[in-house]
Chains A and B, each alone.
Chain A
Amino acid sequence: VTPDAESDDALLGRLARTGDARAFEVLYARHTSALYSTAVRLTRDPDAAADIVHDAWVRAVESLHRFENRSTLRTWLTGILINRHREHERERQRDGADDDLTVRDVIDAASSRPLDDTRFDRLDLEAAIAALPAGFRHVLVLHDVEGFTHEEIATMLGIVPGTSKSQLARARQRVRDFLEAGVPRSVP
């Protein structure tokens, strides 16, 4: 079995046991593009995104013993990435007051029309996502772009699933509003 054909679990085992560089290379190749894309969309800054992806990988390899098979490796890595991103945000004092939704703000997510049935220019869409307040952006990127469930997102962000749903609903509406009104092109 070549490393490329091995499962994430098998590669993680070898990486943990022997620090096998080849196992790491395969895992890096499998997951870094998704992590970097998420990071860019969360931070809106390619340099900051590279920093947090770097830190996320280092933290992940340092704490392989903490990985439990209750989630996929990608979910676990994304959780580490989110934590690092939030630390980074705090360090740069860029938290927005618009992120303070609570359970009281819950909107029935089922009433929120998904964005994928809307026709729009993909650069406009990227710009609209980038223009969202951080809390909305995080949930929309993790759910509508990366495909995580509300339960997974809630765990990553330290919120309840209902808040994730409500933020998603509001984020989608905000994106539609942006797309209808025109979005400033400030995407990295």
Chain B
Amino acid sequence: MTHSPEEPMAGRGALRDRLPPLDPPPELADRVRRTLGTRGLVRRPARRVPTWVTRSGLIAAGIMLGILGRGAYQEAVVSGGAASVTPLGQYVLLLYGDTPGDTGAVHLAREREYGRWASELRDGARWVGGHELHDVIVDLAGARPISPVESERLTGYFVIEAASPERAAEVARTCPHLKYGGRVVVMAVAS
């Protein structure tokens, strides 16, 4: 709340302590938690693999910082329970195109499908980050603004780690974005 200089303070908030307390029912908290959990909006912090969350530019910023900070990152993993130790490189899967009219519950279901796909990567590949991208704010080429072509609109990205470029390409071929008519471009992150 703010204080407006022209507004008399008299009476503002003065009745709060003069009224009987009204405590929310204890079950309300569980009800809110359950709804938020069902919709994938709130998760326990220990859970590592997130769903494909759409609604925060902050997430994108955080992930991009992660990419920049881990560009040279190499890690050994045990794949398939065998003792094979494989160095991983980072790759970006750029998702182009979108499904017109894909909103609301349909969109949410698709987000969850993408999230499941990302969380289930294994065998020499694993999810690092990703986010859906909203509409282009401005598309600049030098000093000349250009109009983005809708069919080539970048709609999201995943960052993965994979044992090889070939494995990254295999992963990309399984991305659910393809079955919705989208295009997936794989690029290696410079190390």
Say which residue of A65, A110, A126 sits within 8 Å of B19 (CB atoms).
A126
The reply to whether the CB of A103 lies closer than 8 angstroms to some CB of chain B is no
Does A146 interact with chain B (Cβ within 8 Å)?
Answer: yes
Chain B interface residue bracket vs A: 35 or more
Report how far A27 CA is from B4 CA in the complex, Å: 26
Is B2 in contact with chain A by the CB < 8 A criterion?
Answer: yes
Instruction: Evaluate contact between A19 and B42: CB separation under 8 angstroms.
Output: yes
Tell me if A72 is interfacial: C-beta within 8 Å of chain B.
Answer: yes
CA distance A123 to B19 in the complex (A): 7
Report whether B4 and A28 are in contact in the complex, using a CB–CB cutoff of 8 Å.
no
| A136 contacts B by Cβ under 8 Å | no
Q: A145-B19, A149-B3 are in contact. Are A13 and B58 (CB under 8 A)?
A: yes
Interface residues of A: mostly helix, strand, loop or mixed?
helix
Known: A33-B23, A62-B39. A21 touches B55 (CB 8 A): no
Query: Is A37 interfacial (CB 8 A cutoff)?
Result: yes
Residue contact A72 to B40, C-beta cutoff 8 Å: no
Q: Taking the complex as formed, is A32 at the interface, i.e. its CB lies under 8 A from any CB of chain B?
A: yes
Residues of A near B1 (CB, < 8 A) are 71-72, 74-75, 147-149, 152
Contacting pair A32 B28 (CB below 8 A): yes
- B43-51, B68-76, B141-149: which lies at the interface: B43-51
A172 to B22, CA, bound (A): 21
Nearest neighbor of A74 in chain B, beta-carbon distance: B1
| In the complex, chain B residues whose CB is within 8 Å of the CB of A24 | 33, 36, 42
Which chain B residue lies CB-closest to A20?
B45
Is residue B78 within 8 Å, beta carbon to beta carbon, of the partner chain? no
The reply to whether A149 and B2 contact each other, CB–CB distance below 8 Å, is yes
> CB-CB < 8 A to A179: which residues of B?
none
Q: For the complex, give the distance between the alpha carbons of A18 and B59 in Å.
A: 8
Q: Which of A17, A57, A61, A172 is the one whose CB lies under 8 Å from B62?
A: A17
When distances are taken between beta carbons in the complex, the residues of chain A under 8 Å from B11 are 112, 114-116, 143-144, 172
A152 to B32, CA, bound (A): 26
Residues of chain B within 8 A (CB-CB) of A129 are 19
A36-B22, A145-B19 given; A64·B4 CB < 8 A:
no
A104 at the A/B interface (Cβ < 8 Å)?
no
B102 beta carbon closer than 8 Å to chain A: no
Given contacts A17-B59, A72-B1, A125-B18, contact A32 B45 (CB under 8 A): no
Contact B28 A36 (CB under 8 A): yes
- Cβ contact within 8 Å between A19 and B16: no
Contact in complex: A116, B15 (CB < 8 Å): yes
**Does A151 count as interface, using CB distance less than 8 angstroms?**
yes
Task: List residues of A whose CB falls within 8 A of some B CB.
Answer: 13, 15-22, 24, 28, 32-33, 35-37, 40-41, 46, 50, 53-54, 57-58, 61-65, 71-72, 74-75, 109-110, 112, 114-116, 122-123, 125-126, 129, 143-152, 172
Chain B residues at the A interface, C-beta cutoff of 8 Å: 1-4, 7-8, 10-16, 18-25, 28-29, 31-33, 35-36, 39-45, 50, 53, 55-59, 62
A-B contact pairs, 9 of them (CB 8 A): A17-B59, A19-B42, A32-B24, A36-B22, A36-B24, A37-B21, A61-B41, A65-B56, A149-B1
- Top 5 nearest A-B pairs (CB, nearest first) are A147-B13, A114-B11, A116-B14, A36-B24, A16-B56
**Extra 7 A-B pairs, beta carbons < 8 Å, given A148-B1, A151-B2:** A16-B58, A19-B50, A21-B43, A40-B22, A122-B18, A122-B20, A144-B11
